Amino acid sequence: MSEQILPAIQRTKSAIEEYPDKNWVIAYSGGKDSTATLKVFLAAFQKAERKPLRISLIYCDTGVENPVIDSYVKRTLKNIRREAEDAKVPLSVDILSAPVQDRFFAKVVGRGYPTPTNSFRWCTKALRINPVTKYMRSFGSDDTIVVLGSRRDESQQRKRSIQKNGDDYWQKQGGSSATIYLPILDFSISDVWDAVFCLGTPTSIDAREIEGIYRDASGECPVLKSPNSPPCGSGRFGCWTCTVVRKDHSATKMVDAGYSELQPFLEFRNWLAEVRNDEKRRWPVRRNGVERPGPFSIAAREEILMGLFHLERTTGTEILADGELEHIFMLWERDYDIEHELGLRPKTCPISQRRRIQSQRTKSMPILISA
């Protein structure tokens, strides 16, 4: 076993013993780093003489997670929850998500946001950081220690961000009052894989399955960090809709490796990346009146929505959440008059448009499974 693992367990054991009264929250994405972190933490927990009464394992479900990863993670979390109950470990498993108004397609199709880029990265805060922050506030951020799988070795950007925040296992980050603990801060990739394969608990995690899914990728989209800091690395896993990276290498590699079910998602994502810069699909002004390409026109939003219905139909997955379509219509209604004033549309009857669109979705829906 790598030389880094035992000291990391020992250090984490001391940390747990020092703060048994805190709420320990472990951020889990299913990736190798958060898996290694969880395993190191649980190994330390088993050895600790003073144990916390509560540990939380949280997964942030943006609603547009890579479907292969999302299904692996949700299955694994179910098994971890059962394993913890059987072993009487006080571990709660919580899946967090953004409210309907903050979901990816509520913003893109509803408000007309262009899909995110480095300079307009509206998604991380809305989809990941806010749900996690809200969750921590529910039991007092000051009493919480968040355990993250960040490593210096991960990327130059991550290294700089860690250095900026004290370059230590203990950090304060992202304006949150919660303390952050980084048990695998100085792990290399091979230390991470060693921890994933060699540490036994939780047994519900299938190291071979992670290796199969994650072999070619690195980096995970942050859940606790300034949203203005550098984005996920080019080989990251995260949302299948992500246009922050120019090309989605990880999804492409997964398709090449046989996950053909990702192909329609990848094609739709590539189309989104293409149309986001098409000025004909955007308002000529921004909402603040500045004469630069603004939100997607309602016609473009409808076009994206139709593409989304088609994707739901071809993949048999439900991408829009309960209430999301109604929320989108409500947002469109607010924008009809603006478009009319901009000379982009005659007065139309939103009700008939809504009926037509709703019937498109109803007609197109097969038996759906959640994405």
Residues found near ligand SF4 in the complex (CB under 6 A): 62, 116, 121, 123-124, 127-128, 221, 231-232, 238-239, 241-242, 244
In Å, how far from its chain's centre is CA 167?
A: 25
By beta carbon distance, the residue nearest ligand SF4 is: 238
CB of residue 66 to ligand SF4, shortest distance in Å:
9
Nearer to ligand SF4, 116 or 183 (CB): 116
- Nearest approach, Cβ of residue 65 and ligand SF4 (Å): 8
Smallest distance, ligand SF4 to C-beta of residue 196, A: 22
CA distance 18 to 272: 49
d(C-alpha 36, C-alpha 41), whole Å: 8
Cβ-based nearer residue to ligand SF4, 13 or 121: 121
Q: How far apart are CA 72 and CA 196, in angstroms?
A: 16
Instruction: Provide, rounded to whole angstroms, the least separation between the CB of residue 86 and ligand SF4.
Output: 34
Specify the residue, 77 or 127, whose C-beta has the smaller distance to ligand SF4. 127
- CB-wise, 81 or 125, nearer to ligand SF4? 125
Least distance in angstroms from the C-beta of 48 to ligand SF4: 34
Residue number with CB closer to ligand SF4 (23 or 62): 62
Query: What is d(CA 318, CA 322) in angstroms, rounded to the nearest whole number?
Result: 10
Q: Are 67 and 371 in contact (CB under 8 A)?
A: yes
Nearer to ligand SF4, 5 or 242 (CB): 242
Q: What angle do CA 192, 69, 37 make, to 5 degrees?
A: 25
Shortest spacing between CB 27 and ligand SF4, in angstroms: 14
User: CB of residue 217 vs ligand SF4: minimum separation in angstroms?
Assistant: 12
Per-position DSSP letters for 281-324, written without gaps between them = GB-SS-TTS-SS--SBPHHHHHHHHHHHHHHHHHHTEE-SPTTH
Q: Which of 66, 4, 82 is nearest to 29 (CA)?
A: 66
Q: What DSSP string runs through 48-73?
A: -SS--S-EEEEEE--S-B-HHHHHHH
Q: Which residue lies nearer to ligand SF4 by CB, 5 or 109?
A: 109
Return the percent helix, strand and coil in the chain, to nearest 5. 50, 10, 40
CA distance 60 to 69: 12
Structural tokens at position 146: 């968040």
